[in-house]
Structure 1
């Protein structure tokens, strides 16, 4: 899997690259320090995953929508020291597939990048727990109860990290039907994307 790392602190960026390359299946194919470089490297290198610093020159959240729109096959994970839940929700709403907090250990980092590359979402566990609490306050408990049996099945497959195409195969549906169900699920849960919907489900399962 090919990774691009964007962070404006050279020493941290280099350390991150060395940590990722401890895994035989991960290769850092490019490094950059700004929003402009992120756009260029994404276009030229076509990585599987781009790790994007939140507070670099040009702004991670500012460039994120363009990165996702111009590179639909690439997954973007925010890399940040911020544990602000508003930044997390803004990143997910803008298209991020993951939210990695700096200070993460090498093994956890590698597992997170693998999960993101494989189609799953990733949110730093401590931050996910906080957001789950907030979402439980925002979303009526009946939200999940409003899901049909088929919608519940699809949401659980999403939470396991399956793509719409994989869900269609597993559930015996057409992919466009899965997309229709996902739209209804997001509306019922007041969730902005599939990662947020999966977080809501996991939070309910833990209560």
Structure 2
């Protein structure tokens, strides 16, 4: 029997927080280990409970974005997912830059949220597709070094990155290429290191930027 994914939910709206906690607890493979309503609660939960995944709202007392940096400073391995109504590109960028592994909009269904949490617990990252597309469209012209970095990728790494950029998870990429999921994770680690990015979304952005630049030439 697999160990349940330990999740904490921090949101200052009790009905929403309790609803998320209850929905996840009713899905096999999840355990709710703590709930909170503020930045201070989030920090204490991360330090004391060390959940596998910590769900944070942005607009809570103390600020969810501020909580990310404080938590990562104290618990560097903590996986944080923003669960919010904010569709601001600035908020998405700030959350990812500060160390969040996921950015999910509150309209998501319980089963979809559960799948996202599973993937993040397994080492992946996630940004709501509509927001990811907006970030890509808002990006400025890529730096020459990024174009050079893309050129250093192997054929297999190019293949993996193109599939990831199309929105596929590591598991689906592995199926499509008939490889082990662990192999795909290794390729993504190499890709991110070569591109100098911190997560899958940024790697996809880098590829899209370079493609757009080439098309404009």
Using the size of structure 1 for normalisation, the TM-score is 0.78
- In the alignment, structure 1 residue 195 sits paired with structure 2 residue 200: yes
1:18 maps to 2:22: yes
Query: Superposed, which structure 2 residues align to 1:47-126 within 5 Å?
Result: 47-126=51-130
1:155 and 1:197 in contact (8 A); partners too: no
Give the aligned CA root-mean-square deviation in angstroms.
3.2
Q: Please report how far the alpha carbon of residue 200 of structure 1 lies from its aligned counterpart in structure 2 after TM superposition.
A: 1.5
- Contact 2:146 2:195 survives alignment (8 Å): no
Q: Secondary structure at the match of 2:131?
A: helix
* Cα distance in 1, alignment partners of residues 11 and 128 from structure 2: 18
Unaligned runs of 5+ in 1: none
196-205 or 72-81, which deviates more = 196-205
The question of 1:37 aligning with 2:47 is answered no
Q: Tell me, what secondary structure is at the counterpart of 1:110?
A: helix
In structure 1, distance between residues paired with 2:66 and 2:185: 36
- Runs of 4+ in structure 1 deviating by more than 3 angstroms, as ranges, are 140-146, 154-162, 166-171, 181-184, 201-207
1:65-86 CA-to-partner distances (Å, cap 9, x unmatched) read 1211222232001111100011
TM-score by length of 2: 0.75
